[in-house]
Chain A
Amino acid sequence: MSFSQDIDIYKKTGNTEFKLPNIPNSMSVDEFQLLSRNTRMIDMLHAVVVPGHIHFKAKSPLAGYTLLTLRSLAYIGLLDVYVYKKLNGENLINLNPFSSSSESAIVVNDNWQIETTDIIATISTVVIVGTYLYDWIHGKQVLERKQELIRYKYSVKFKLENSHKTTSNSYIPAMGVAIHF
C-alpha cells in the first residue's frame, strides 16, 4: 500500500490530469480546448501582462494580435512622453495641463493651451485601459459564445442520434467492486 507524498488542500481521490473524457469522434481539438477553458480571476492578472490574453484563450487570434499591437503602441507613446519630458527637464505630471506655455502647446484659446505630450499620454493611457477592458469583457463573451455553439451542436446531435436507436438503453452491463475510505 502506498501513501500520498504530496500535500493537497482539497481532497483528491485520483489523478485528475489523467482523466480521459469520452468526446465525439467529429470534435476537433480546437473545440475540445475551447470547452475545457474558462475565464478565471487569474486571467485578469494575466491580461494585464499579456495584451489580448483572453482573446488568445478564446481562439480569436486576430482580435488578440490587434489588442497586442494597440497596447504596444500605447506603451511606446507613454515611453516617448517620459523620455521627452526627462530630456527637457519637465515635470512628468502636469498639474494644470490646460494652461501650458511651451512652444509645442496647441492653442485652443487664450485660456486654454494643451501640451502635445499630454495629449499623447492621455490617449496612450485611454488605449491601455480600454484594450484591457475590451480584452476582458469581449474576450469572455467570445469564449462563452463559442462554448455555447459547441455545446448546442453536440447536444442536439446526441439527442438526434439517440432517437434513431432501436433500443432505448445504451448502457453496457458491468459488475464491479469499489472500496472507499
Chain B
Amino acid sequence: MKRYFILILIALSFTKTGVSQFSTSTELQYLQLINKQGDKRLIADNLRNAELAADSIITQHSNNLLNAYFFAELGKSYFLVKQYDKALLSFFRQHYLFPNDSADRETKNLFFETAFHCHFTDNEISQFWDVSKMNVSFNKRLIIFLEQAPQIHSRHLRPYILKIGNFLKSTGEPVPIFYHQWESLVTVNMRERHLKTILPLLVNNSTPVYKQVQIAKRLRLKIYRKTIRHFLHINAYRQAFVLLNDYRTNEDLSFFQKADALIKRTRIAIRF
C-alpha cells in the first residue's frame, strides 16, 4: 500500500512539472501579445523560448492549425527585431512544413517583404512560394524544406537547418544526397558566398564534394584544405593524414599550397 502511495505521489509530481512546459497555444498567444506591443526587447528576450517551442512542434508535427500560425507569428517576431534571415526561415517552416491556406494568405505579403530584405528578386521569391508541398507526407515536406532553406544563404541559419536535417535522419527516412553535400560543406565551415557558387554545380552522386571536377579548381582546393583543417581541429589525425596524402598526390599545387600542406603534415606528425 505504501509503495502504491509513493508511486501515485511521484506520478502526480510529474504531472505538475509537466505543466511548466508551455503549450503551443500559450506560446502562440504570447507571441501575438508581444508582437502587438512591438517592444523589441520583449520580443528578442522571447526568441529563445519560441525556438524551443518550434523544435517541439516539429518533433511532434501534429496536423494542428496552431502550428502554422505559431511559425507565422514567430516570423513576424523576427521581422520586428530586424533578423530578416531568421524571419524568412520561420516563414519557410510555416510554408513548407505546416502548409495552411489561411495562414499562407495572412503571411504572403510579409514573406515577400522579408525575402526582399534578404536580397532575393521577385522571380526567386515566387519560385519559393510556388513550390508544391500539398498532399505529401511530413517527411517529404521536410526534404522540400531542406532543399529550399539552404538557398537563403545565411550563416546564422545553419544550426536551425542542421537540426531539422538531424530530425529527418532520426525518422529513418533516406536523406537526399544534396543535403549530405550541403551538410559536409557547412561542417567544414565554407563561406556562404562560396556555397552560392558551389551548390548549383554539384552532381547528385556520392562523390565527395572536393573531388567533383566540375567545381573550379580554386574552390575545390579550398574545400580540400578546409576539410583537412576540420579534421585537424577535431584531432582526427589519421583521417586528416589520408586526405592530405590524397590532396598532395592528386592535385597540382602551387608553391604556397605545398608550403601549407607541409605545415599541415607537420601538425599531424606532432599531433598539434
Chain A residues within CB distance 8 Å of chain B: 22-26, 28, 145, 149-150, 152-153, 156-157, 160-161, 164, 170, 172, 174
Contact = CB atoms under 8 A, between A and B. Distances in A.
A172 B33 contact: no
10 contacts: A22-B20, A25-B20, A26-B53, A149-B45, A150-B45, A153-B46, A153-B49, A156-B30, A160-B25, A164-B23
B4 interface: no
B12 A172 contact: yes
A161 B29 CA distance: 10
Contacts of A23: 20
Contacts, number: 51
Contact of B29 (A22, A24, A160): A160
A161 B16 contact: no
Interface residues of B, number: 24
DSSP class of B's interface residues: helix, strand, loop or mixed? Answer: helix
A164 B26 contact: yes
Interface of B: 9, 12-13, 16-17, 19-23, 25-27, 29-30, 33, 41-42, 45-46, 48-49, 52-53
A152 B48 CA distance: 15
A110 to B, nearest CB: 55
B30 A157 contact: yes
A24 B30 contact: no
Most central of A26, A149, A170 by chain B CB within 10 Å: A26
Nearest to B27: A157
A160 B26 contact: yes
A26 B45 contact: no
A24 B16 contact: no
B20 A152 contact: no
